[in-house]
Amino acid sequence: MAENFSDRYGYRGTDAEITIREDAPDGLRFALLAIAKEAGLGPKSMRETICQVLREPPNPNNWSDYPNIWEEAQWHLQNCPWHKVYDIAEAFHRSLWHGFGDGSNVFEDKLNQYFREQGIGWQMDGGQIVYRGSEAFSGATQEAATILEQSGRSGAAREIHEALRDISRRPEPDVTGAIQHACAAMEATARDVMGDASTFGALAKRLSLPRPLDTAAEKLWGYASNNARHGQEGQQVDLPEAELIVSVACAICTYLAKRAES
């Protein structure tokens, strides 16, 4: 698969401000087919996948790849509900992964690049569309999940993935669930590092975190306990707060795991 100029020399568009979540603009619907084609899917495979997702029969009168089947795939994508576009994106990734593993990586990379450049608040992670927040949020969660997996802390890594899944829920993100899972990852990492099954609140003072991170970590645990884990009536955590808490919890997980390895 030949690389184009931008890929050869590492030129990428700047990340646009996130303005799109519950929508799939026409540009994305067109780009999805173009990216799938570039990754290795042909029109027949695209149409089959799209029809399976939409539970629509393919047109038996369309035989030729171009223009008939290609235009049929375009028509379905342009006219389906917005959320089905993201279902189709996941299904394209699965088809590529089963057929050509490298193609699924190309598809995910180029789709995520398009999301970032167009201000779409989603990203593909391992073939699944998940919530994409601020640059700091995305960087913190991705690094934490990767470091935890690589260091053998798969349980803590799963909690990070669950936090992302909860904050990705629509129509309403499960912010309390996201916070609970992020803090569970922080607790699991601390327990593993210390070899102690105590709660994070009890471990915080013994983790030897640099100041003022030690105090911040303890207070974060208390805040999450009061506002999410125990769900006090009348106290609502909004999405930006949830992003902040999850980001900090992920940063602490990353720090503890890296320190333990070194």
Q: What is the pLDDT of residues 75-93, one digit of tens each?
A: 999 999 999 999 999 999 9
The dihedrals phi and psi of 61, each to the nearest 5 degrees, come to: -85, -5
Say how far apart CA 145 and CA 237 lie, in whole Å: 23
> pLDDT tens digits for 249-258?
999 999 999 9
Which of 180-217 are b and which e, b meaning 16 or more Cβ less than 10 Å from the residue's Cβ?
bbbbbbbbbbbbbbbeeeeebeebbeebebeeeeeeeb
Q: Does 210 or 112 have the greater pLDDT score?
A: 112
Residue type, 33: L
Q: State the pTM of this model.
A: 0.76
> pLDDT tens digits for 186-198?
999 999 999 999 9
**Torsion of the alpha carbons at 243, 245, 247 and 249, rounded to the nearest 10:** -150
234 pLDDT band, cuts 50/70/90, is: very low
> What would the mean pLDDT of 161-186 be, rounded to a whole number?
91
Q: What is the pLDDT of residue 233?
A: 46
Q: Does 37 or 100 have the greater pLDDT score?
A: 37
Asked whether 240 and 192 are in contact (CB, 8 A), the reply is no
Say how far apart CA 182 and CA 178 lie, in whole Å: 6
Q: What is the pLDDT of residue 1?
A: 55
Q: Mean of the per-residue pLDDT values for the chain?
A: 91
> What would the mean pLDDT of 236-250 be, rounded to a whole number?
89
Please give the DSSP secondary-structure letter assigned to residue 234: T
Q: What is the pLDDT of residue 12?
A: 78
